[in-house]
Amino acid sequence: MYDSPGTLQDTCINYICKNVEAVCEVVPQSPEETSSEQEPQAHSVVEKVLRFAFRDPDTYLHSEISEQLLTALSRHGKLDDGTMTLFTADVARLTSVHIRKGGCLSTRGLRVLRDHKIWDLEVTGLKVTVNDLIGCLGEWTLNNLRSLNVAHSTFMDGFKYCVMVALSKLRNLHALNVSCTEFNRHGLEIVAEDLVHLESLDISCTRVDDITPLRKCRDRLKSLTMYNLKVAFDEKVISVLQELRELRILDVSCEKDSNNPFEMFAPPVVSKVAEFLQSVELPHLVSLDLSGKENVGIGELLKFLTHHPNLRFLGILHSDACSEPCFTNTRDFGYRKTLKVAGTASEAQLLEALRVYVNRPMYIQKCLYNLFRLTPGYTDARVDVIMLVLPSMQLHPQQFGVQMAGSACLYNLTKGDLSQKIHPSVLRQVVDVTLTAMENFPNHFQLQKNTLLTLCSDRILQDVAFDKYRCARLVMNCLCTYDDASLDRMCVAICSILAAKISTSETSMLGAEPKYMRKLLAIVKYKVESGTVDITTKFTLSALWNLTDESPSTCQVFLDEGGMKLFLSALKTFENESAVETKVLGLINNIAEVTHLRTSLMVPEFVVILRKLLHSQHIDVSYFAAGIIAHLASDGSAAWTVTLVTRNMILEELGEVVTSWHTPEGEMVAYRSFHPFFPLLTIKDAYQVQLWAVWAIHHVCTKNAKRYFPMLVQETGNKILANLSADPMVHPSVRRICGLILDELAVERVNGML
């Protein structure tokens, strides 16, 4: 039905990343280690850094596992000087190193690389200088390193001088990426002169203002990327490119910074694309990127393609040329099926653009907006498209345009029945980026709405493993931020489901937040005053019910915020609305389970309503009314004097009602544990209380044996029931139901279910 799940190896790697403390132990550095690796200006920091070690002293990771784990730790934001010590040469083997977001690493952590033989090194986003990084490499690596990527890092030393001489040490370097750094013409002269094996160079978004030094590489340079380089695309540049006859890949794409208010005042950049297409002939060229270039004439472009039959990729995003039939219509005479085009005129162009431009947020934003227009027409699950949208959002979490368009696409790609055909592991990634978007842009209404539309899915909420507490907290924040009926409906729907799935400690943290409780009660109040029972009413009541479940602190906040008075009004306003009555009584039952809060329920007005609902024709309403009475009656008779009803009177009614119940077809209620029932089973002077408790246990165990019988055994409830069943002083009705539960438990054991 959908793609296979991830490999066991991937699953194990991800588990280690998320549970580093569980599989590793922290070993304090010895004074000798600390002093020998100590850096000036960072003494106090270094002393606090600890060394990590795998708990199994015989652990050794071969290169594939080592490299995958290192990359995953970096991706999850778990890589720092401490975790870097997991990769010492006696434990791991690294030959290809890929670290993104290396800002948490100092030279102390990077020194781990010294004892490894590395031929491929990517460390982007460094805070220490590139020279410092090179200084942390061993002799073998310096002599043999073939590929270096230090994009988004710095060449500026502590004195704010741009120092690049260390690059000269890498004599065997074949590929260098210094994009988005302070790399300049001086650096270009160094690498062109000293790196005699250099074949691939990325100088995108650098300070290079003259590419003339590249003439020294004309006989060996095969790939040149100079995206968004602030160099006029004029005769001088074209003449240099013309000499680079060995080029296979050429990227001269660019973009205007729409976020820069001074862009409009900048002098116009000369662009002679037509002249380039007419005059330059690069016989080995397989990839050309002209995206963002103006005046891409279709005539000149078609002629260029004719002279370059080996071309396999053409980037023409932000150009009208991408709409030409030869790039969109497979039946057009000029269409080349071997040529992939990155543009916005077709799905194929958009998907190709998302693949190749994943690191360019402005390009990605444009692609996602255009993709969004296509996604409503999809009738089949498109995991291939989702897997292109996800990295775009993951790599640019602070780019509003990317998150806005991406979240809209993800909703269309996962909504309705489409989600049933998508593997939960993919949906989990969808949820993760969706929550990050919610977190980063809490004050953008439409983006919040996009994320809620995606999350408000039974498939996602019921079948997908993700951080449900984080999700519930973000959704509750959204609920409190906006006053919008559609958002209210989605928020309470999501929270009503998630509140039943998170731990009791987490529900207590949510429920104990007064602003959340006030908002939920405000919604109920509005519905009561307007006499409206709709889906929002029901979901809000369910959310409150689940938040108070086994959470005394939330129950207290509910009472402090006037919830009991409001719920009495709800019971009167929505009389005979069993769906409302069940949820209201379910929440009050949660309060009744808390011994010190029971007095707040001993109100004559409520007891009158409670007795009436006890005799409801709807068994679920009657069930919860009986549960409240059982908990209140378990306290003794003193408190009942204020209700004008004696304890014996209410107990007699309770016994009659429970005895009259027939087993309902479905499961009426779900319980986190049986602990609230155990105190009721000890009430020897009121068998009716025991009767309700054992009936309730029997009901859920028979309706969902797989869930509740193991719970009963784990909490030793079976022993309590066995003692009751064997005690001749216990009421026969109670003993009979205890026997039924124990018999069915024995059957489950025989069948191997326990």
> Residues 661, 693: one domain?
yes
Nearest residue to 65 via CA among 45, 99, 95: 95
d(CA 381, CA 420): 9
d(CA 223, CA 250): 6
| Per-residue pLDDT, 751 | 76
752: left (phi over 0), alpha (psi -120 to 50) or beta: left
With beta carbons less than 8 A apart as the criterion, state whether 297 and 324 touch: no
With beta carbons less than 8 A apart as the criterion, state whether 460 and 454 touch: yes
Evaluate whether residue 751 is within a structural domain: yes
| Per-residue pLDDT, 656 | 94
d(CA 412, CA 397): 20
> Residues 444, 414: one domain?
yes
| Per-residue pLDDT, 569 | 96
pLDDT band at 641 (very low <50, low <70, confident <90, very high): low
Evaluate whether residue 386 is within a structural domain: yes
Residue 124 pLDDT exceeds 90? yes
Q: How far is CA 146 from CA 3, 63, 143, 198, 217, in A?
A: 36, 17, 9, 9, 16
With beta carbons less than 8 A apart as the criterion, state whether 674 and 711 touch: yes
> Residues 450, 498: one domain?
no
pLDDT band at 71 (very low <50, low <70, confident <90, very high): very high
For residue 263, the tally of other CB atoms under 10 A from its CB is: 10
Instruction: Tell me which of 134-138, 424-428, 498-502, 667-671 is least confident.
Output: 667-671
**DSSP notation for 131-167:** HHHHHTS-HHHHHH--EEE-TT-B-B-TTS-B--GGG
| Per-residue pLDDT, 113 | 95
**What's the pLDDT tens digit per position in 215-259?**
999 999 999 999 999 888 889 999 999 999 999 999 999 986 444
d(CA 554, CA 548): 5
d(CA 437, CA 747): 50
Residue 266 pLDDT exceeds 70? no
> Residues 545, 567: one domain?
yes
Of 595, 622, 644, the position where a domain reaches its end is 595
pLDDT band at 112 (very low <50, low <70, confident <90, very high): very high
Q: Which residues pair with 24 in a beta bridge?
A: 54
pLDDT band at 629 (very low <50, low <70, confident <90, very high): very high
| Per-residue pLDDT, 38 | 46
User: CA angle at residue 55 from 54 to 60, to 5 degrees?
Assistant: 45
Show the domain range for 540.
484-577+587-595
d(CA 154, CA 180): 9
Residue 2 pLDDT exceeds 70? no
For residue 679, the tally of other CB atoms under 10 A from its CB is: 14
> Residues 566, 420: one domain?
no
Residue 645 pLDDT exceeds 90? no
> Residues 414, 544: one domain?
no
Tokens of 647: 């304890």
| Per-residue pLDDT, 310 | 94
β 24-27/51-54 pair status: antiparallel
Q: How far is CA 539 from CA 41, 273, 471, 490, 500, in A?
A: 57, 60, 17, 9, 12
Evaluate whether residue 560 is within a structural domain: yes
Name the residue with tokens 């030279």: 107
pLDDT band at 47 (very low <50, low <70, confident <90, very high): very low
Residues 6 or more apart in contact with residue 650 via CB below 8 angstroms: 607, 611, 629, 632, 633, 640
With beta carbons less than 8 A apart as the criterion, state whether 208 and 229 touch: yes
d(CA 277, CA 218): 19
Burial class (CB in 10 A: 0-12, 13-18, 19+), 404: buried
**DSSP notation for 324-360:** SHHHH-TTSTT--TT-EEESSSSHHHHHHHHHHTTT-
| Per-residue pLDDT, 24 | 84
β 313-315/287-289 pair status: parallel
| Per-residue pLDDT, 52 | 85
Q: How far does CA 46 lie from the centroid of its chain?
A: 32
Residue 134 pLDDT exceeds 90? yes
> Residues 689, 562: one domain?
no
pLDDT band at 16 (very low <50, low <70, confident <90, very high): confident
With beta carbons less than 8 A apart as the criterion, state whether 678 and 716 touch: no
Tokens of 161: 């001088």
Q: Which residues pair with 27 in a beta bridge?
A: 51
| Per-residue pLDDT, 36 | 45
| Per-residue pLDDT, 410 | 98
Q: How far is CA 189 from CA 215, 252, 635, in A?
A: 10, 20, 88
> Residues 56, 86: one domain?
yes
**What's the pLDDT tens digit per position in 331-359?**
998 899 999 999 999 999 999 999 999 99
Q: Helix, strand, coil % (nearest 5) of the chain?
A: 60, 5, 35
Evaluate whether residue 406 is within a structural domain: yes
Q: Give the residue, 687 or 22, on which the prediction is more confident.
A: 687
pLDDT band at 30 (very low <50, low <70, confident <90, very high): low
CB burial readout 411-439, b (16+ within 10 A) else e: bbbbbeebbeebbbbbbebbbbbbbbbbe
> Residues 733, 608: one domain?
yes
Q: Is the dihedral of CA 637, 639, 641, 643 positive or negative?
A: negative
Residues 6 or more apart in contact with residue 738 via CB below 8 angstroms: 694, 721, 722, 724, 725, 730
With beta carbons less than 8 A apart as the criterion, state whether 568 and 524 touch: no
With beta carbons less than 8 A apart as the criterion, state whether 253 and 227 touch: yes
Q: Which amino acid is at 470?
A: R
pLDDT band at 49 (very low <50, low <70, confident <90, very high): low
d(CA 427, CA 422): 7
Nearest residue to 749 via CA among 726, 724, 718, 721: 718
Name the residue with tokens 């200006």: 41
d(CA 310, CA 294): 24
Region 447-459: mean pLDDT is 96
| Per-residue pLDDT, 147 | 97
Evaluate whether residue 563 is within a structural domain: yes
Region 80-92: mean pLDDT is 90
| Per-residue pLDDT, 638 | 55
292: left (phi over 0), alpha (psi -120 to 50) or beta: left
* Torsion angle (degrees, nearest 10) of CA 368, 370, 372, 378: -120
Residue 143 pLDDT exceeds 70? yes
Tokens of 104: 């948490």
Tokens of 510: 């949510």
Of 560, 595, 630, the position where a domain reaches its end is 595
**Three-state DSSP string of 578-634:** HHHHHHHHHHHHHHHCCHHHHHHHCCHHHHHHHHHHHCCCCHHHHHHHHHHHHHHHC
Evaluate whether residue 141 is within a structural domain: no
Instruction: Tell me which of 37-51, 681-695, 704-718 is least confident.
Output: 37-51
> Residues 452, 377: one domain?
yes
SS3 226: coil
Evaluate whether residue 264 is within a structural domain: no
Q: Give the residue, 585 or 662, on which the prediction is more confident.
A: 585
**What's the pLDDT tens digit per position in 156-184?**
887 677 778 889 999 999 999 999 999 99
For residue 536, the tally of other CB atoms under 10 A from its CB is: 21
SS3 93: coil
d(CA 736, CA 729): 13
Evaluate whether residue 186 is within a structural domain: no
Of 403, 435, 464, the position where a domain reaches its end is 464
Residue 15 pLDDT exceeds 90? no
> Residues 613, 591: one domain?
no
pLDDT band at 43 (very low <50, low <70, confident <90, very high): very low
Tokens of 369: 């907006």
**What's the pLDDT tens digit per position in 381-418?**
999 999 999 999 999 999 999 999 999 999 999 999 99
| Per-residue pLDDT, 271 | 61
| Per-residue pLDDT, 640 | 67
Burial class (CB in 10 A: 0-12, 13-18, 19+), 617: exposed
* Torsion angle (degrees, nearest 10) of CA 5, 8, 9, 15: 90
Q: What domain count does the chain have?
A: 4
With beta carbons less than 8 A apart as the criterion, state whether 312 and 338 touch: yes
| Per-residue pLDDT, 482 | 95
d(CA 439, CA 433): 10
pLDDT band at 642 (very low <50, low <70, confident <90, very high): low
**What's the pLDDT tens digit per position in 500-559?**
999 999 999 998 889 999 999 999 999 999 999 999 999 999 999 999 999 999 999 999
Question: How many residues are recorded in the chain?
Answer: 754
Q: Which residues pair with 148 in a beta bridge?
A: 121, 176
Q: At what angle do helices 468-481 and 424-440 cross, to 10 degrees?
A: 40
Q: Rounded mean pLDDT of the chain?
A: 90
Residue 4 pLDDT exceeds 80? no
d(CA 500, CA 504): 9
> Residues 702, 637: one domain?
yes
